[in-house]
Amino acid sequence: MAHFINGDFFSETEAKISIDDLSILRGFGIFDYFRTYNRKPFLLNDYLKRFQNSASIVGLSIPLNSTELSSVIDQLISQSPNDECGIRMILTGGNSFDAFTPEKPNLIIRTEKFQLPLEKDYSEGVIVISYEYQRDLPEAKLLNYSSAIIHNSRNLDKKASEILYHFRGKITEASRSNFFVIQGERLITPEKHILKGITRQTVLTMAQKDFAIEKENFPMHLLSDVDEVFITSTTKGIMPVIKIDDQIIGNGKVGKATRHLMELYKNFTDKTHL
Ligand SMILES: Cc1ncc(COP(=O)(O)O)c(C=O)c1O
């Protein structure tokens, strides 16, 4: 797969950055990730805006403007051997003289092979496990996912698809997705201390004619009362959740309202860029 680094294109084996980069020495940097549908970048402007927002939260500046980024992305997609691909944009803290002070950032953009969830996860729903944790600077997409990676590998035997973060009794988000609850006509999603997912925003826009939308960080202890739960992300789309820890959600099956939203989302992605 082709890599763009600071203005030039490299093959996978040629692509290199310095070991003095703060992303290696301190895990300092930001990224964003989106995908193609029909070989075109999906909701590109939304992802570029979030990338820009993450950069300003951590005080880094992206060396290319949106038009230049978009042109690099088009070139990378045209070189991708796969029908559809993921695109990762990374902005690092730069090569630091004292292993602490940020320098001129390194910008890396590359296409990646896609790992889609199993069809069975959508038809049967998935299990998630909870963990009390609050991400650092949650509105920024920081490079550091240590907590998610550690908890995921510790819980592989529980067959959980995601780690659900809660803090002081309230659910915020999952380690790589946003969280939604359906209770009757109400669609509830956390709003504070989260990464504002692009898929979350798409779902909220689609759902407003059928649901009363409430944006609040949902209490963990009320999970026993909810009808349906799902999580959303760029790669998962809308993924139904049937169990959180030992708590079965609703009747333990993928609910009607989630299925309806999954269909709306599929129609939206099918139609985009045709
Ligand atoms: C912490 C976190 N929350 C939410 C999301 C979902 O965001 P999106 O729908 O833009 O993929 C992600 C995606 O990676 C994430 O890392």
Instruction: With H, G, I as helix, E, B as strand and everything else as coil, classify residue 188.
Output: strand
Smallest CA separation from ligand 1 atom 14, residue: 176
Q: Is 252 left (phi over 0), alpha (psi -120 to 50) or beta?
A: left
Could you tell me the mean pLDDT of each successive run of 10 residues in the chain, 274 residues long? 93 95 98 96 98 98 98 96 94 98 98 93 97 97 96 85 97 98 98 98 97 97 97 98 97 98 96 70
Q: Residue 136 has what pLDDT? A: 97
Quick check: 155 and 128 in contact, CB under 8 A? no
Quick check: 173 and 232 in contact, CB under 8 A? no
Strand partners, 108: 5, 90
Query: Nearest-CA neighbor of 43 among 202, 225, 231?
Result: 202
Cα 58 to Cα 105: distance, rounded to the nearest angstrom? 12
**Ligand 1 pocket at CB < 6 A:** 173, 176-178, 195, 197-200, 232-234
Q: Residue 274 has what pLDDT? A: 55
Q: Residue 31 has what pLDDT? A: 98
Smallest CA separation from ligand 1 atom 4, residue: 177
pTM: 0.97
Instruction: Give the E-state strand segments of the chain in sequence order.
Output: 3-5, 8-10, 29-37, 40-41, 86-92, 107-112, 126-132, 160-167, 170-174, 178-183, 186-189, 212-215, 228-233, 237-244, 247-248
What the block records as the tokens of 95 is 């090569």
Q: Residue 273 has what pLDDT? A: 62
Quick check: 62 and 51 in contact, CB under 8 A? yes
Ligand 1: atom nearest CA of 173 is 3
Q: How far is the CA of 176 from the centre of ligand 1 (A)?
A: 5
